[in-house]
Each structure stands twice: as structure tokens, then as C-alpha cells.
Amino acid sequence: MKTQCAASARKTILVVDDEPSILSSTRALLEMDNYTVETIATGQETVKRLQMAPAVDLILLDIIMPGMDGFQTIEACRKVNPQQKIVACSCLNDTRTVVRAIQLGALDYIRKPFHKAEFDAVLKRSLAPEGATATVLQELAASCQEQVVDLGNDLFFLAASPAMKQIRSQLELVAKVDVPVFLLGESGVGKEIVARLIHKLSPRAHHPLVKVNCAALPVHLLESELFGYEAGAFTGALHAKPGKFEGCHKGTILLDEIGEMSPVLQAKLLHVLQDGQFARLGGRSNITADVRVLAATNINMEAAIANKTFREDLYYRLNAFTINIPPLRERREEIPFLFERFMDQFSRKYAQPAQACSRKLMDACMQYDWPGNLRELGNFVKRYMVLRDEDLAISELSQSRQHEIKTEAADNLNSSRTEFGLKTLLRDLKDKTESKAIEEALMVAHGNRKATASRLNISYKALLYKIKQYRIGSPRFPNNDRGRPSYTGDLD
């Protein structure tokens, strides 16, 4: 014990908090373990202190402070000393606050009021030699108590963010009610995962779940795939074949990419949803099937309905309950969990040892936007596990990010050019129309500008400005020898 205290006495800890009671209580906790303690009440003073000698071993920094808050202070401190160890502190139990502090450069996070055991553990990790804190984000992830449901076939539903936890609660309720569910979200966000969880939690869980990709087949093949066909229905149909609806009787069918389904087939699907009956291709009798329909798409349904590419009545029939799944960039706090899950999954699948994730790599993952969402993250983890090259993985994310920035900039430039071109066209058209109107009014008023201004319902001063702007002269009457009025000075 004496050896530990003697070692800790060499460490200087700077406590930053705007509440005097917190400063005094934290000082007491630290001095009990023989740390050298300094206290400061503002972010500005913290930055000034870092610019002075001697250096501090660790900063315990409050996030919520007046003036320069904790986030701004972290950024400023990192500019003074990029290697400075900082532990963020807050009374907020918000994973977004934790993730942002980590992204900005905080080494760890602790919630106030401090519990001695947790406080000591954070100090031990933070003051450990470089390299011993590589699992801080994993420990952070473990403290957030993620919800994971194993769906089989290497599929899992994970909820660690507030948005996904809310969706998890909604799924538990809607799964028990036998109504269609519409799953909306970008490609790769996990719509199929959500559909599988709905089926798993529903009374139909012991019956089949069948997935059909509506974008993968032409309309006639898709129709026969869904509803089956009779022998002789078309060339090559030698035997009758039941469709997916018959095959998942009492179960659930997921119509993936339903926004790509043809309007003709949409009409037949609407009929099935209304009365639960359909006919095979080439069949004359109706077949009844008890099937729950889940639909998924990544297109803008409002635009599809407005463009008449998707039936409005079918949309409302499917839209008994809608789940909007947010993209991964809006739930970044789940990235550490997902990374670890994917790594464990692929290491088992390919019989390869799991690769550790350093803070540097996790920071790069947290900063990347993941346009391909979970699918892209899974492929990234797979490549990282196989190649086992951290620098290459970080470089890959950096290059992808730069490409996104350039693409976005080019899109904005093209949009600006288009907007500028339209504005110029409209302005030229307006100027020509206005100039012509003034010329005609001058002719009617026989060059009298005051009468022209009155006729145009503008002020005399405004008319003079526009005559000068458009370089319009006054007509001279009678006409000249060419039969047109000539333009000279004012006739008022």
C-alpha cells in the first residue's frame, strides 16, 4: 500500500469544475491517495495552466461549465498538448456526451457524483503507461448496457443508442399485433434484422419467415415467385409450383425493396392484403393464405406516390405501423459494440484470431460517416481482420472520407452553378420585359416621363433610374424618315 501511495504521489492531477463543493470533495478524495492536486474553476484558466510548467499528469474536466464548456476546453487543451491525458466528468448519463468527449480527445469518462471504486478504476486506467488504455472504448461500451438479440445465422439485433432502444421497445409491442409493418431506412441500416426480430417476437415465430427481394426479379418472374403458377401457365411451366405466400402460411413474408415493385403487381398485392386471397398464374381458383406482410424500402415513399410509381392505397394498407431506422452516422455510439460483435463473428467464421482495436482506429471509425451503414462497417471489420494492418485500415477510412467531402463539394458547386444559371436567366428575362414595357409606355405618353411613371405606377425617380439602367432614350415625334421614333433627350 505504501509503495502504491508513494508512486501516486508523483502524479499531479488538475481538477476543473465550476462548483466549489465538487472541487473540494474531489481534492479530498485524491489527497487521500497522496496525489498532488490543483483546482481550477474555468476552461480558460485550464488552457493558461497547460501553457505553464510543470506539466500535469491528468486533467479531471467537468463538461457542463459556463463560458468555455468542457468540449471546447478539451479541444483547446489538445492544441496546447496533443498528448495531454483528460478524463471528462459530468452528471449527465448521456452516451452522446460520452462519445463526443472521446471523439474530441478525452481518455475516459466518469459520471458525477463519484463512487470511490469507479473513481479509482478510472484513475488507474488513465494514469497507466501508453498502450494500456486500448480497451477504454470497450469498457465504455460495456458500461452502456447494450441490448443484443441473437437471431441465428450470424445475425443479431443490437441497441445501444437511445434511438435503437426506442425502436426495440416499439418492436416488442408491434410484434404481438398482427398488422403489416413498413420498414424505412437507408440501404444497409438493418431493415432485414428488424424484420427478423419482429417475426421472432411475434406469435408466428414457430412458422416460416420468407424474404423476397422485389428488385431482383422482372415483374412476371416476381409474380410467379410470390403467388406460384399452374402447369401450362407459360412456356416451360411443366408442373404447378406454389409461391412464397403459400410457402409461409401462418408465417411472415418480408417484401424487401418493395418500392421497386411494378404497379401491376402492386394491385394484386393490394387484393391479397385486403382479403387474404390470390390466384396462381394460370389458375382459376383462389387460394387463401394466412401471412403477415412486412415491407421494406430505402426510397422516398412520398416522392414515389407523387410520381405515381407506388400506389397510394397500397402504401396506406402496408403502413399500419412504420419503423424509421436511423443511419449509423446518427447512432455513432453503437460503433464500438458493432465493431466488437463483427470481429467476434468473423473470427469464428474464418477461424482467425480476433484483432484488437486501438483508440486511434476506433477514433477513425467514430469520425467516419459510414454511408453504407452496418453493411459497410461489417465489410470493413472483415478486411481489417484478414489484413491485420491498422495503418492501412485508418488510411482507407481517411481516403473514403476525403472522397465523400470532394463529392459533396462538387455536388454543391454544380447546384450553385445551376442555381446561378437559373437566376441569371430569370434576371435577363425580367430586364428585357421591363425595358420593353418602359419603351412602350414612353411611346404612349409621347415621351413624357412623368406621365410614363404615372402609367407604370412607379415613382418619377425610379423611372429615371431604370431609363438610365436600360439606356432608354425618349422618342421624338413625329417619326423620323425611317418610320420609327428616334431617341434623344427629355421632352418634359
Chain segment 394-449, per-residue pLDDT in tens? 888 888 766 555 555 555 555 544 445 555 566 666 677 778 888 888 887 877 88
Specify the CATH number for the domain of residue 262.
3.40.50.300
Evaluate whether residue 265 is within a structural domain.
yes
Q: Which of 133, 153, 177 is the last residue of a domain?
A: 133
Evaluate whether residue 109 is within a structural domain.
yes
Give the residue numbers spanning the domain of 198. 162-324
Specify the CATH number for the domain of residue 120.
3.40.50.2300
- 118 and 27 housed in the same domain: yes
Evaluate whether residue 356 is within a structural domain.
no
Evaluate whether residue 377 is within a structural domain.
no
Asked if residue 206 lies in contact with residue 263, where contact means CB atoms within 8 angstroms, the answer is no
With 50 as the cut, is the pLDDT of residue 143 above it?
Answer: no
Longest dimension (CA), the chain: 116
Q: Which three cell numbers stand for residue 369?
A: 460517416
Specify the CATH number for the domain of residue 439.
1.10.10.60
Q: Of 204-218, 337-351, 377-391, 467-481, give the lowest mean pLDDT range.
A: 467-481
- 419 and 289 housed in the same domain: no
- 178 and 316 housed in the same domain: yes
CA pair distance 300, 296, nearest whole angstrom: 12
CA pair distance 167, 197, nearest whole angstrom: 11
- 178 and 311 housed in the same domain: yes
Q: How many domains does the chain have?
A: 3
CA pair distance 115, 203, nearest whole angstrom: 44
- 277 and 212 housed in the same domain: yes
Q: Which of 324, 345, 367 is the last residue of a domain?
A: 324
Name the E strands within 247-321.
252-256, 277-278, 287-288, 292-297
- 182 and 298 housed in the same domain: yes
Asked if residue 335 lies in contact with residue 141, where contact means CB atoms within 8 angstroms, the answer is no
Evaluate whether residue 301 is within a structural domain.
yes
Chain segment 314-372, per-residue pLDDT in tens? 999 988 889 999 999 999 889 988 998 898 888 888 888 887 788 888 888 988 999 99
- 92 and 200 housed in the same domain: no
Question: How are strands ordered across the β-sheet holding 322-324?
Answer: 209-213, 252-256, 292-297, 181-184, 322-324
- 237 and 315 housed in the same domain: yes
- 102 and 174 housed in the same domain: no
CA pair distance 327, 213, nearest whole angstrom: 21
Q: Which three cell numbers stand for residue 119?
A: 473513481
Evaluate whether residue 446 is within a structural domain.
yes
Asked if residue 177 lies in contact with residue 318, where contact means CB atoms within 8 angstroms, the answer is no
- 214 and 108 housed in the same domain: no
Per-residue pLDDT averaged across 161-169, rounded? 87
Evaluate whether residue 378 is within a structural domain.
no
Q: Which of 264, 292, 324 is the last residue of a domain?
A: 324
Evaluate whether residue 204 is within a structural domain.
yes
- 115 and 6 housed in the same domain: yes
